Structure 1
Amino acid sequence: MTSTHGPTDDERRNFVRYTHTRNWPMLRRFPVTDDLHDDLLAQMLRCSVPAVRSIVDTFAAQVRETAAEMLADAAFRDLLRALPFRPEDRVVAIGDSITADRIGWFEILSAAVTPAGAEAPTMINLGVSGNTTADVIERFDLLEAGRPTRVLLMLGTNDVRVHGRAAGHRMATGPETERNLRVLLDLITGLGAATTVITPPAADQRRIDDFFAGDPVWWRASDIAEVAEIVRKVDPAGLDLHAATRGADVGSFLEADGVHPAPAGQRLILTHVVSHLAAE
């Protein structure tokens, strides 16, 4: 809970970590200057613009450090060299907060494939926190505007986000999620872009129950598993990240909320994504 005196430093960091106002549909369709984005975050968080920029810079430095650490591993470098990316490619990631994470898998991948002086594809992160499959259909014009040649699609966690304490209702039923995913794949195919579909990672019910106790918004880990099964049905050739992370050590893989991957979890996700892409 945010106090009457404003968010704590940890709450500010967490908010900035998952919030990219530049990707909010209205502000992407009607862009404003970078300074106004920084000012918007500062006003929402009741802090100074320099404080917001300092948080953003800290996350960017963490991404560069993580990419350098992963690049020190010869096996990871070999996987990167085997990626089906060309310098002229435009690689677009579509997802929710797991993808929008400023220290997340796609940001680390972008830093790892774009070393100084090397020809590399254009990497575009269109992850938006809270997005469902229906939300991405609504903002498909923004994906199209990115002129992707390859799309990395990881969605579904928020389709099963539950609203309501007593009579909780999911944002989307299983059939609705399946329909939306098929629509998205059809739309992306129409752009001529190659698509890699990724299931959402596994969640931990005990942590979810502890973190969201009494809140009007929560998740069921079993519902996320159901979405993973739907994704596998829609695209059997996709990356089954849910199965790959189901046995991961919860303490290192997930944040306290039981839904969002911790930094070590994001590194694990990236390893699986790169391995899958390199094998294509």
Structure 2
Amino acid sequence: MTGAQDFTDDDRRHFVRYTRTRSWPLLQRFPVSDELHTELLAQMLDSSPATISSLELSLAEESRSAAARLLADEPFRLALSQLPFRPDDVIVAVGDSITADRLGWFDLLDQSLALAGAPAATLVNLGVSGNTTADVLERFDLLAAAQPTHVLLMLGTNDARAHGRDSGYRMSTVDETERNLRALIDLVTRELGAAVTVMTPPAVDQRRIDEFFRDSPVRWQAAAVAEVADVVRKVDPRAVDLHAAIIDPGHSDLLESDGVHLSRAGQRFVLARIVEHLGDGRRA
């Protein structure tokens, strides 16, 4: 690195929590060794590879503990047993930081299936922090390379992301988001022959956003995220409606202090909704 950074232990843990270099498009198209992935994170965080490995292990253990607590709940355990996944299936999650989160819903699903002990499908996390629908469309070749039989698609939060303190230019217009989602669904179902489950982006908290991003040129508007959720519902009326589920004022504990990312409780809540939806589809 060109100069020492003032990273705290919490800063490093937060960065590693949401950063999966193995999912970065460039490093998927030009793979490097596991050791180099660890070294890359270490250099980015002015740290040591041993510290990065320790953080990754700690986050994995926390995810496993959370999955064990979920499995103690009988309705969740029953819904998990109803998932329409076969042992030879490849389940790929595509999304942004909410999916890339090492304490997130998809890792919790992976850990839950492993702890349940039944023969499980192969789960692949292709979440990349900051991704928009356009970003995922651009890296569709990498999704295809994973050879999924079922794709879980949670996108849109970053389509609503705005840049500029005064102007606030959105990453994607509503029409662009709709076009990208329709293209992705068509590519997954027609070209890959895979099933797809689409989710609306979770609701955000405007008060927390305004406070957390007060001095930042990047921000979100709750109304813009709601517009994206409407687009998802339009494109796929069967979508898992996480936005409507989280917007309830009684669910204020489901978001982090930034008002955008899901808290640990929020990730567990989202997984329960997704598992319930998928299990209901099988029974139908």
Tell me which interval the TM-score lies in, with the shorter structure as reference length.
Answer: over 0.9
Q: Deviations over 1:16-45 (max 9, x none)?
A: 100000000000011000000000000000
> In structure 1, what is the equivalent of residue 165 of structure 2?
165
**Would the alpha carbon gap of residues 5 and 149 (structure 1) be closer, same or farther in structure 2, given more than 3 Å must change?**
closer
Q: Find the aligned partners of 1:88 and 1:5 in 2 and give their Cα distance.
A: 45
**Structure 1 partner of 2:229:** 228
SS at match of 1:260: coil
Summarize the alignment of residues 141-156 of structure 1 with structure 2, pairs less than 5 Å apart. Answer: 141-156=141-156
**1:163–1:169 contact (8 Å) kept in structure 2:** yes
What runs of 5+ residues in structure 2 fail to find an aligned partner? none
**Match in the other structure for 1:198:** 199
Q: Does 1:269 align with 2:270?
A: yes
Q: Are 2:105 and 1:99 equivalent residues in the alignment?
A: no
> How far apart are residue 248 of structure 1 and its match?
5.3
Deviation, structure 1 residue 115: 3.0
In angstroms, what is the RMSD of aligned CA positions? 1.3
1:117 and 1:74 map into 2 onto residues whose CA distance is 16
Offset, 1:75: 1.0
Q: Distance in 2 between matches of 1:86 and 1:177?
A: 32
CA offsets 1:219-277 (integer angstroms, 9 cap, x no match): 00110010000000000011111001111545421101000000000000001000100
Structure 1 window deviating more from structure 2 (108-117 vs 252-261): it is 108-117
Equivalences for residues 71-150 of structure 1 within 5 A = 71-115=71-115, 118-150=118-150
Distance 2:186 2:117 in 1: 36
What CA distance in whole angstroms lies between the structure 1 residues aligned with 2:7 and 2:250? 30
Counterpart residue number, 1:219:
220
- 1:116 & 1:268 partners in 2: Cα distance? 19
Q: Does 1:207 align with 2:226?
A: no
CA offset at residue 118 of structure 1? 3.3
1:252–1:262 contact (8 Å) kept in structure 2: yes
- Report the TM-score when normalising by structure 1: 0.97
- Tell whether 2:64 aligns with 1:64: yes
1:18 is matched with 18
* Deviation of 1:78 (Å): 0.4
Aligned 8 A contact 2:4 2:46 in 1: no
Please say if residues 5 and 45 of structure 2, whose CA atoms lie closer than 8 Å, have aligned partners that are also in contact. no
Aligned length: 278
Mapped contact 1:6–1:45 kept (Cα < 8 A): no
Change (3 A) 1:39 1:27: same
SS of 1:102's partner is coil
Structure 1 residues 213 and 87 mapped into 2: Cα distance closer, same or farther (>3 Å)? same
Structure 1: distance between partners of 2:116 and 2:223 = 43
CA distance in 2, matches of 1:117, 1:195: 25
* Conservation of the 8 A alpha-carbon contact between 2:201 and 2:243: yes
Identity of aligned residues (%): 59
Q: Secondary structure at the match of 1:158?
A: coil
Q: Paired residue for 1:8? A: 8
SS of aligned partner of 2:115: coil
Report the residue type matching 1:126 in the other structure. Answer: L
How far the C-alpha of 1:72 sits from its partner, in A, is: 1.0
Q: Is 2:243 the partner of 1:242?
A: yes
Change (3 A) 1:196 1:5: closer
Change (3 A) 1:252 1:101: same
3-state SS, counterpart of residue 256 of structure 2:
coil
Aligned letter for 1:50?
Answer: A
